[in-house]
A and B are shown apart, each in its own frame.
Chain A
Amino acid sequence: MGKRAELYIMKYGMTNILRNMPKSIALIAAALVLTISICIISQTIFIQRQSLESVYTQYSINVSIMDEFCIDSTNLRISSKYYDIISQNQYDIMEYIKDIKVRSIESRGIRYTFDLNGEEQLTGTVTGLTYLPSDDEFGYSFGMLSGYSESVLLGNEAVCIVPNTMLEKMTGQKEVIFLRQSEFSEFVEYKIVGTHEGKPDDIFCSFSSFNENLSRDEYNIYSFGFLLSNAKYNENVAEILKKYFIEPSISGAVTRKVNELKLPFRYAYVMPKGNLDDVIKPIESDIQKLMIVEPFLFILSVATGFVVSLLSTKNRKAEFAIMRSLGTGKAMVFFEAFFEQFILNLIGILLGIGVFFVIYQSDTVLVLWKVLIFFACYMFGTAISVLNIAMINVMKIMKSNE
């Protein structure tokens, strides 16, 4: 059969649609109602997911590492290897870990000079930090020099915050200071990025640089914590922390003795979630219910497509038989019946989308994907039904007359 015959079959289908309006309207209405239902469910899932996402981003969780009894978080003496877990981006969720707070103290006589000529040599305390401490933490007032922000402390640059009095005493270049572990080691140049109003021999520098150049002790972390900026990942973060720290529980029991760093399980992690669960559980439950309903709706679409198509073609067996007996091929008969259903379903779906967007004033185009899936399911059901029509046994229909 040629192109012209195929076009004619399409025209024949359109004629059937136009001349049997009640049936056409019923089929369009069925598709329309299902489309609106799909749109409403998809939209509701979308809105609920958005609110869940918004809750997650509004809830930040302050994670802290504490001693094994979850009592003290300020004087821990933890291995610096733990810092690497967080700082070296080993896990996918690291982008949600903010404000890493690591503090260390080295007070065993770090020597430093603040004059280029090396004339002023002192012994004092150097603290490694990844953050600018609040005034309450040390009883000092901290300030960054112009052109610097506290974020420099997160890196491994050799930068430091010195006492005000030290800066005032400097006569030559006021931008650098030289620090060394002991009188036997080499001086390392540190850039001055801020000042504090506190003890004249306290110096603060970035933890990474401190750990690398100035600390003589591997167990130099005194406090350790960070902010999880998206509560959605709290379970993932907990999974990671469980590899290294004790999971807080009533029993506090830890089955393994050595963690993934081959260090003893001595410290616990604490993730105070507040009322997060109370807020998200109802939303998650709603989403779950809708997610259960949604696939059924698609299965229902296949069934509806099948039944609607079956009912609408049920009385047309003789018509399809006569088409076959006049030389219309099976494929063309299938195409004709499918084409009619396709056009009617398409109209119903487009109207359904239109009605949904008008009534619900929705600006979510995401529902269109769901509608497309629905359309595919619906047409799949239709195709199964129509396939029976194309495979019709013309002889049987002829025999019914005998």
Chain B
Amino acid sequence: MNKEEKILEVNNVIYEYRNKYQTVKAVNDFSFDFKRGKFYAIVGKSGSGKTTLLSMLAGLDVPKEGSVRYSGKDTKNIDLDKYRRDDVTVIYQDFNLFPLLTAIENVMYPLHLKGIRDKDAKVTAQKMMESVGLDLSFHKRLPSMLSGGEQQRVAIARALASEASVILADEPTGNLDSENGANIIGLLKELAHTKNYCVIVVTHDLGISSDADQVLSMKDGKLMLEEADKKN
């Protein structure tokens, strides 16, 4: 597998929606190629279109114009449910764990969706939890019994369990203290560099951007900073 392989290609994406008064271009002619093994930070003010872009990368929506291509295939022409199950995974600011499932059951969820047997799913989930620093004592705890940092680790373990190539994170440190936040960013960066994931983090936190291999700045739905020039 080519470490520099383009995994997500965003070409002239426009996404607009109508609110009460006007048509808003949330993403306006955005183009960029995301590669495996890289840790990207997308920064910008609130309303700059970061999350809209993320939702299109995550296959939760498709662009009105332009295209998002995963491994060369336009997301408009693929089964988006399968895409989200197998190829891309999202980590949220408020963790979004299933509140009535234990930590290990949360990690097993994407494996069960793929039809993996309970026993095998459990072994894989255990490995994933270990890889994010959660030992056996955390397995049977409900999310309400975990700290913010621990919950985010479970969310990361769940993302890893899905074996997706692309990890998208929407403000993953937003609800964490600075120490836990730094640990989570460190973990995501390590995953990008050692496990060859394409990690894209949407954030307000400029501290994170200093850890990123590449920072994309957005304003009014447009890619603003010099990284735009880096498009191959």
| A residues apposed to B, CB below 8 Å | 1-5, 8, 12, 15-16, 19-20, 318-319, 321-322, 324-329, 394-395, 398-399, 401-402
Q: A15-B101, A16-B100, A395-B60 are in contact. Are A327 and B51 (CB under 8 A)?
A: no
Let me know if A401 and B92 touch, CB within 8 A: yes
Q: Taking chain A's interface residues, is the majority helix, strand, or loop, or is none over half, making it mixed?
A: helix
Let me know if B60 and A402 touch, CB within 8 A: no
B residues 152-176 in Cβ contact with A at 8 Å: 158, 162, 170-171, 174
Q: In the complex, how many angstroms separate the beta carbon of A170 from the nearest chain B beta carbon?
A: 99
B residues 99-139 in Cβ contact with A at 8 Å: 99-101, 105, 109-110, 112-117
Let me know if A8 and B50 touch, CB within 8 A: no
Which residues on the B side are within 8 Å of A402 (C-beta)? 46-47, 50-51, 170
Q: A5-B112, A8-B112, A325-B58 are in contact. Are A401 and B162 (CB under 8 A)?
A: no
Number of interface residues of B (CB under 8 A): 41
The docked-state distance in angstroms from the alpha carbon of A2 to that of B114 is 8
Q: In the complex, how many angstroms separate the beta carbon of A142 from the nearest chain B beta carbon?
A: 87
Q: Does B33 contact A (CB under 8 A)?
A: no
Let me know if A327 and B81 touch, CB within 8 A: yes
The docked-state distance in angstroms from the alpha carbon of A327 to that of B78 is 13
Which residues on the B side are within 8 Å of A3 (C-beta)? 115
Q: Does B86 contact A (CB under 8 A)?
A: yes
Let me know if B90 and A325 touch, CB within 8 A: yes
Which residues on the B side are within 8 Å of A325 (C-beta)? 58, 60, 84, 90
Q: Can you sample 16 A-B contacts with CB below 8 Å? A: A4-B115, A5-B113, A5-B115, A15-B101, A15-B105, A322-B96, A322-B98, A324-B60, A326-B85, A326-B110, A326-B113, A326-B162, A327-B83, A327-B85, A327-B113, A399-B51
Which residues on the A side are within 8 Å of B81 (C-beta)? 1, 327-329
Which residues on the A side are within 8 Å of B217 (C-beta)? none
Q: In the complex, how many angstroms separate the beta carbon of A352 from the nearest chain B beta carbon?
A: 26
Which residues on the A side are within 8 Å of B174 (C-beta)? 401
The docked-state distance in angstroms from the alpha carbon of A326 to that of B163 is 12
Which residues on the B side are within 8 Å of A401 (C-beta)? 51, 92-94, 170-171, 174
Let me know if B60 and A398 touch, CB within 8 A: yes
Let me know if B55 and A394 touch, CB within 8 A: yes
Q: Does B28 contact A (CB under 8 A)?
A: no
Q: Does B151 contact A (CB under 8 A)?
A: no
Q: Does B208 contact A (CB under 8 A)?
A: no
Q: A327-B81, A401-B92, A401-B174 are in contact. Are A19 and B100 (CB under 8 A)?
A: yes
Q: In the complex, how many angstroms separate the beta carbon of A9 from the nearest chain B beta carbon?
A: 8
Tell which of B84, B93, B170 touches A327, judged by Cβ atoms closer than 8 Å: B84
B residues 139-195 in Cβ contact with A at 8 Å: 158, 162, 170-171, 174
Q: In the complex, how many angstroms separate the beta carbon of A192 from the nearest chain B beta carbon?
A: 91
Which residues on the B side are within 8 Å of A398 (C-beta)? 51, 54-55, 60, 90, 92, 170
B residues 69-89 in Cβ contact with A at 8 Å: 81-86, 89
| CB-based nearest A residue for B162 | A326
| CB-based nearest A residue for B51 | A402
- The residue among B85, B158, B171 with the most chain A CB atoms within 10 A of its own CB is B85
Which residues on the A side are within 8 Å of B171 (C-beta)? 401
| CB-based nearest A residue for B48 | A402
Which residues on the A side are within 8 Å of B116 (C-beta)? 4
| CB-based nearest B residue for A3 | B115
Q: Does B196 contact A (CB under 8 A)?
A: no
The docked-state distance in angstroms from the alpha carbon of A329 to that of B79 is 10
Q: A319-B98, A319-B99, A394-B55 are in contact. Are A326 and B109 (CB under 8 A)?
A: yes
| CB-based nearest A residue for B155 | A322
Q: A5-B112, A5-B114 are in contact. Are A327 and B82 (CB under 8 A)?
A: yes
| 4 closest Cβ pairs, A-B complex | A327-B85, A327-B84, A8-B112, A2-B115
Let me know if A1 and B115 touch, CB within 8 A: yes
Q: Does B209 contact A (CB under 8 A)?
A: no
Q: In the complex, how many angstroms separate the beta carbon of B32 from the nearest chain A beta carbon?
A: 19
The docked-state distance in angstroms from the alpha carbon of A394 to that of B97 is 15
The docked-state distance in angstroms from the alpha carbon of A322 to that of B97 is 8
Q: Does B220 contact A (CB under 8 A)?
A: no
Q: In the complex, how many angstroms separate the beta carbon of B217 from the nearest chain A beta carbon?
A: 16
Q: In the complex, how many angstroms separate the beta carbon of A146 from the nearest chain B beta carbon?
A: 85
Q: A325-B60, A326-B84, A401-B174 are in contact. List 5 more A-B contacts (CB 8 A).
A: A318-B96, A324-B84, A327-B83, A401-B94, A402-B46
Which residues on the A side are within 8 Å of B94 (C-beta)? 318, 401
Q: Does B16 contact A (CB under 8 A)?
A: no
- The residue among B58, B83, B99 with the most chain A CB atoms within 10 A of its own CB is B99
Let me know if A328 and B96 touch, CB within 8 A: no
Q: Does B52 contact A (CB under 8 A)?
A: yes
The docked-state distance in angstroms from the alpha carbon of A324 to that of B98 is 12
| CB-based nearest A residue for B44 | A402
| CB-based nearest B residue for A315 | B99
Which residues on the A side are within 8 Å of B99 (C-beta)? 319
Which residues on the B side are within 8 Å of A5 (C-beta)? 112-115
Let me know if A8 and B113 touch, CB within 8 A: yes
Q: In the complex, how many angstroms separate the beta carbon of B78 from the nearest chain A beta carbon?
A: 12
Which residues on the B side are within 8 Å of A394 (C-beta)? 55, 60
Interface readout for B17-55 with A: 1 if CB under 8 Å, 0 if not?
Answer: 000000000000000000000000000001100111011
Q: In the complex, how many angstroms separate the beta carbon of B81 from the nearest chain A beta carbon?
A: 5
